[in-house]
Every structure is written in structure tokens, then in C-alpha cells.
Amino acid sequence: MRIAFVDALRQLENSGEAAVTLWEHNTMRVVLVAPEDVYTQEPDSQNETYIVMSGCAELQYEDRTIDLDSGDYLFVPAGTWHQFINATEDFTLWKIIS
């Protein structure tokens, strides 16, 4: 399965939403996310993997804040509260739920 980033961006822009699901198979989903300044994530019952494609932000994760930049990889275990804050206007990331 291949998803071109430029095609994913187009789908996201056309959706008018902060996130768009691009692919699903069994319990796995691939989502492209371009959050606003604050993007709160409810604890998920599945693990979440994020890959920052552009821009930067901070992640509040459990009891700490982590700086994120383009190219960073992040793993959030199932059931963990987290939110993205102070996102730049061009902040975009892949979210893989598995």
C-alpha cells in the first residue's frame, strides 16, 4: 500500500477537517492530521504512532512536554492521554493506529 503525501494533503484540504482517514485494514488505520494550535487526543484503546511531516509543535504527554519537529517519530501507548500544542501553521503528521 502506498499513499503519496501530496495526494493525502489534497484529501485533507478537501475534507475541511483537521484529520482524514486514508486507509483502514482490520484494526489498523492511517490518518493524516493537520491540527490547529491545540489538538487534544482522547486516550485510545490502540497504540498510536506519529510521524511529523512538516512544521513543529509540542506534545504534552503524561507529565512532560516534548518538542516535535519535521521528521520526528513518536509512539504513544494505548490508553495514554496526550495533546499537541503550539503547532505551527504548517504542522502536519501521519497518525498510524494499530
pLDDT tens for the chain, 98 residues long, are 899 999 999 999 999 999 999 999 999 999 999 987 667 777 889 999 999 999 999 999 888 999 999 999 999 999 999 999 999 999 999 999 99
pTM above 0.85, yes or no: yes
Domain boundaries, given as residue ranges, for the chain: 5-97
CATH class of 5-97: mainly beta
Query: Counting Cβ atoms within 10 Å, is residue 24 exposed (0-12), middle (13-18) or buried (19+)?
Result: exposed
**The dihedral formed by the CA atoms of 77, 83, 16 and 12, expressed in degrees to the nearest 10:** -40
